[in-house]
Amino acid sequence: MTRATYFSLILILGALTALGPFTIDMYLPGFPAIAKDLETDLSSVGLSLSSYFVGISAGQLLYGPLLDRFGRKKPLYIGLVLYIVATIGCIFVNSIDNFVALRFIQAIGSCAAAVASVAMVRDLFPVKDSAKVFSLLMLVVALSPMVAPTVGGYVTTEFGWHAVFIILTVMGILVLLSSMLWLPDSYKPDTSLSLMPWPIIKNFLSVLKVPQFYTYTFTAAIAFSALFAYISGSPKIFMGIFQVSGKVYGWIFALLSVGFIGASQVNTLLLKRYTSEQIIPAALFAQSLTGIFFVIASMNGWLGLTGTIAVLFVFLCGLGFTNSNAIALALAPFERNAGTASSLMGALQMGIGTLASVLVSLYRSASALPVAVVMACAAILALLILLTGRRYIAKSNEVSILP
């Protein structure tokens, strides 16, 4: 693989992976305007975010078997078309219930891109390079929370929130065209795989029984749920509690994303000297301490706007180290079922993240405490699961080398 081919693949796979985050982040500054136009409140608009997470979680399980059975490209095309149609529907929506429903359908479509991109990394790159590739993808993906809310804030202010979904429609079309024109076929369809419910369930269970998979998948999913709590709670914290404008909120969101981006790129440098197994626990320990401090500070009213931004920045840095390493380790044991493993991992990640999002959206508080509690619990629980799961990985490795 030439250097030019390598980076072109990274860009296309990054665009596929970034479609979902862009769809999540770009409309966040428009929450107050959407609530006003649809005659509802911010918490109800927040349910449109939760419904999107639910759709991604459910869709992951749908696309995994399809990607293994029919190859990567056909299911990807179908999902992108569905995304485009649902996004157009959001432009003309006139009630919060329809908006929440369309966001669910939009997510079902967009998650085809997310599952396909992760599976194709496993198809196209050696296992030893996958953590570095995922870190590079994080650089592309992480641009979305920097650019999307900032652009969304200006677009909403100047043209209204409907214009955000016009832009997302154009993005969906461009991603579809680039996938059709430049993305290679990376996997030969496996016609032996059945699409009947029970064989699919058995396939998922066989993947879930692998100790390395379930340890790092649940570690990544629970740790990553902190990001969902932050995304769901940030409009309330910054635009509700601290009363910043949509434009300022976009810039704050972009600033906080720098931590996630920077850490993911530092991770590529650390991988030259340390293993993924060494980096993950150190990052989770730092996140746990930061989360505990965030809870105590929120309970006592120690943090103003600047302090809240600083604590969130430090915490999000940890995710840049945890996520890409855990994903690479979770998928490492699989070749034949990489699509199924990718979809199951994504479904668990989104399902647990949705729970965190719903908890934050439903809890009405005049402080950042709900977000702080969920983020701290996520980091601590992820660390405990990692330390416990490693024992089972060690035992399974001992069994595998016995004569």
Is it the case that residue 25 has pLDDT exceeding 50? yes
**Cβ neighbours of residue 236 closer than 8 Å, sequence gap 6 or more:** 42, 46
- Written as one string, the DSSP assignment of 317-345 is HHHHHHHHHHHHHHHTT-STTHHHHHHHH
* Domain range enclosing 312: 3-179+196-400
Confidence tier at 294 by pLDDT (50, 70, 90)? very high
Which of 9, 104, 7 lies closest to 57 in space, CA to CA? 104
Q: Which long-range contacts (CB under 8 A, 24 or more apart) does 157-161 make?
A: 157/246, 157/247, 160/33, 161/27, 161/30, 161/33, 161/34, 161/37
Q: What is the pLDDT of residue 356?
A: 87
Q: What is the mean pLDDT of residues 317-334?
A: 84
Is it the case that residue 275 has pLDDT exceeding 70? yes
Q: What is the pLDDT of residue 399?
A: 43
Is it the case that residue 136 has pLDDT exceeding 90? no
Number of structural domains (the chain) is: 1
Minimum mean pLDDT among 85-99, 120-134, 175-189: which range?
Answer: 120-134
Q: What is the pLDDT of residue 88?
A: 96
Q: Which has the higher per-residue pLDDT, 133 or 81?
A: 81
Regarding pTM above 0.75, the answer is no
Residue 107, in any domain of the structure: yes
Q: How far apart are the first and last CA of the chain?
A: 38
Confidence tier at 140 by pLDDT (50, 70, 90)? low
Radius of gyration of the chain (CA): 20
Residue 190, in any domain of the structure: no
Question: Could you tell me the two tokens for 380?
Answer: 């601590």
Q: What is the pLDDT of residue 111?
A: 85
Whole-number average pLDDT of the chain: 84
Q: Which has the higher per-residue pLDDT, 53 or 293?
A: 293
Residue 187, in any domain of the structure: no
Q: What is the pLDDT of residue 337?
A: 66
d(CA 205, CA 303): 45
pLDDT tens-digit readout, 338-360: 667 777 887 788 788 888 887 88
Minimum mean pLDDT among 20-29, 137-146, 295-304: which range?
Answer: 137-146
Is it the case that residue 400 has pLDDT exceeding 50? no
Residue 191, in any domain of the structure: no
Q: What is the mean pLDDT of residues 278-282?
A: 92
Q: Which has the higher per-residue pLDDT, 117 or 282?
A: 282
By three-state DSSP, how is residue 48 classified?
helix
Is it the case that residue 34 has pLDDT exceeding 90? yes
Residue 185, in any domain of the structure: no
Q: What is the mean pLDDT of residues 312-316?
A: 92
DSSP character at residue 28 = G
Q: Count CB atoms within 10 A of the CB of residue 384.
A: 14
**Cβ neighbours of residue 149 closer than 8 Å, sequence gap 6 or more:** 25, 26, 28, 29, 249, 250, 253, 254
Residue 131, in any domain of the structure: yes
Confidence tier at 403 by pLDDT (50, 70, 90)? very low
What percent of the chain has pLDDT above 90? Answer: 29
Distance (Å) of CA 148 to CA 91, 237, 254, 356: 17, 18, 8, 22
Which of 341, 272, 281 lies closest to 132 in space, CA to CA? 272
CATH code of the domain containing 335: 1.20.1250.20
Q: What is the pLDDT of residue 128?
A: 65
Whether residue 160 contacts residue 33, with contact meaning beta carbons closer than 8 Å, is answered with: yes
Highest mean pLDDT among 76-85, 149-158, 332-341, 388-397: 76-85
Among left, alpha and beta (phi > 0; psi -120 to 50; other), residue 186 is: alpha
Q: What is the mean pLDDT of residues 7-21?
A: 84
DSSP character at residue 353 = H
Distance from chain centroid for Cα 91: 24
Residue 288, in any domain of the structure: yes
Distance (Å) of CA 203 to CA 60, 214, 341, 344: 14, 14, 9, 10
Is it the case that residue 398 has pLDDT exceeding 60? no
Which of 110, 10, 121, 133 lies closest to 60 in space, CA to CA? 110
Question: Could you tell me the two tokens for 196?
Answer: 């009947």
Among left, alpha and beta (phi > 0; psi -120 to 50; other), residue 365 is: beta
Q: What is the pLDDT of residue 177?
A: 92
Q: Count CB atoms within 10 A of the CB of residue 177.
A: 11
Residue 175, in any domain of the structure: yes
Alpha helices by DSSP H, listed for 92-210, are: 96-124, 127-159, 162-182, 197-208
**Cβ neighbours of residue 164 closer than 8 Å, sequence gap 6 or more:** 26, 27, 30, 152, 155, 156
Whether residue 14 contacts residue 137, with contact meaning beta carbons closer than 8 Å, is answered with: yes
